[in-house]
């Protein structure tokens, strides 16, 4: 019975990932006209609900691992189930978000409404890279307190932040950038490469509670608090970049 506690959290992760997919798919576009007659095309705000449920899935995913270690109920089935849930919540759902933003990036152009789906499906390179990364992780028993490549939840949360940054920022530059198709292609390839790479990346687990052995995590924590206060939703990619840099600069402390 005890072993099903952790699996219940894993299935909740999958459940919230499925809801995120529903909200990512159901958004359309809003056509807004100014008093001057100018036309603006926007993604509907309910795509932000996809971001919300991906974030909830991430919290549940963290609790899943925490509960499994605390109760010492780690199992091979739990490991496989966790990966299946993660590929939905942090692979497929963010892939659909990227697809929708690419679609918007093309629609902004004069002839973009007729864009071929072939220009949109590269968004799912992200999903495929995440699945590959999870399969490799399951076969590698050395990734306990450090990862080889960026974990899929971290990359998925970066993509999940796009709708929130899109809707809740006041910068025209950020708004224009986030709808730039070349930026989106670059982001997709970069995040995909980071996941399948073998870069030494820290796991946010505590082997002990000494400051000396957890310095990178403590630094990341303070960066997260400060950037959240100053940058709001833009803090998500900033924290992600800090996570990568700290992992590489302090790799001896992050992978042992």
pLDDT of residue 205: 72
Cβ partners under 8 Å of residue 97, min gap 6:
24, 47, 50, 51, 159, 160, 162, 163
pTM for the complete prediction? 0.89
Pairing of strands 39-43, 29-33: antiparallel
Supply the DSSP symbol for 90: I
pLDDT of residue 171: 85
**CB-CB contact of 244 with 147 (8 Å):** no
> Burial of 180 by CB count in 10 Å (0-12 exposed, 13-18 middle, 19+ buried)?
middle
Look up tokens 């509670």; give the residue: 209
Q: Is 45 helix (H, G, I), strand (E, B) or coil?
A: coil
Q: Which part of the chain has CATH 1.20.120.1760? A: 3-198
Stretches where the chain sits below pLDDT 70 are 1-4, 27-41, 66, 68-74, 110-113, 143-145, 206-211, 213, 251-256
- Which CATH code for domain 3-198? 1.20.120.1760
């Amino acid at each position: 019975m005890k072993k099903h506690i952790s699996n219940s959290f894993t299935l909740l992760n999958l459940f919230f990932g499925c809801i995120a997919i529903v909200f990512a798919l159901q958004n359309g576009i809003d056509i807004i006209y100014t008093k001057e007659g100018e036309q603006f095309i926007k993604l509907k705000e309910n795509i932000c609900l996809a971001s919300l449920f991906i974030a909830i899935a991430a919290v549940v995913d963290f609790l899943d691992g925490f509960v499994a270690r605390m109760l010492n109920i780690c199992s091979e089935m739990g490991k496989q189930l966790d990966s299946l849930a993660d590929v939905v919540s942090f692979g497929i759902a963010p892939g659909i978000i990227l697809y929708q933003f690419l679609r918007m990036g093309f629609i902004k152009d004069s002839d973009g409404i007729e864009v071929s789906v072939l220009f949109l499906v590269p968004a799912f390179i992200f999903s495929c890279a995440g699945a590959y990364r999870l399969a490799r992780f399951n076969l590698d028993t050395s990734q306990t307190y450090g990862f080889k490549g960026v974990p899929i939840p971290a990359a998925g949360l970066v993509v999940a932040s796009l709708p929130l940054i899109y809707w809740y920022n006041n910068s025209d530059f950020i708004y224009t950038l986030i709808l730039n198709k070349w930026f989106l292609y670059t982001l997709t390839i970069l995040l995909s490469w980071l996941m399948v790479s073998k870069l030494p990346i820290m796991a946010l687990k505590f082997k002990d509670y000494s400051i000396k052995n957890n310095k990178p995590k403590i630094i990341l924590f303070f960066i997260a608090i400060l950037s959240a206060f100053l940058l709001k939703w833009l803090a998500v990619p900033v924290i992600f970049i800090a996570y990568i840099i700290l992992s590489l600069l302090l790799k001896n402390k992050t992978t042992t």
